[in-house]
Amino acid sequence: MKHIINIRGTNGSGKTTAVRAIMNYLTYHSNHTTSNDVFAHIYKTPAGESVAFIGKYEGAVTGGVDRVRNVRDVVPACAELAQYSHIVMEGLLMSGLQQLTKDIADACVNLGVLHALTLDTPKTHCIAQTLNRRALAGNDKPFDPAKSLVPKYRAVELAHLKMIAWGMDAQLVSQRDAVSLALGYLGVNVPPQHVKF
């Protein structure tokens, strides 16, 4: 059985940083495009198992599912990739959509198990990180966290609770624990306190 690892969280919670940390413990192998045109980076574990990271990561501050043209395309793409590869994915849009996550789990039910790891990053940190990212990108448009970030933060919380109610493997974890757990599912033992970003 394959592991389908979904790192979840709102703007600035550290999703992309967590995924890049996971990549750093693996070896890059190739790029791949699924039959429905979803891009994935393929990495290898030390044991030689394939891990597909959905969405493009090079040349961007953020990556993952948010860079897939149609988020619904991720469902059949996961079903295809899980036939031969573990999967790691993240994205802001996906983090607030519990039904999409359930659809992925259902599409892969005979191929692997989905782990939904929601980052418990405090709102104040998410706001600070979002402001920092906007500044780095030269985005000086007005930003009101109460109108943009806070509702997304709540949507992520509600999605997490809904997945728990459905009996899915949904965990609320720190960024460091998310990396350690994900690597453990992939057969790489890195205690949380030793995770490097």
pLDDT in tens, 62-97: 779 999 999 999 999 999 999 999 999 999 989 999
For the chain, list residues with pLDDT below 70. 60-61
* Cβ atoms 65, 71 nearer than 8 A: yes
- The string of pLDDT tens digits covering residues 172-188 is 999 999 999 999 999 99
Strands 86-90 and 2-8, sheet pairing: parallel
The alpha-helical segments, DSSP class H, found in the chain are 15-24, 74-81, 92-95, 98-107, 123-136, 149-165, 175-185
Cα-Cα-Cα-Cα dihedral sign, residues 143, 148, 154, 158: negative
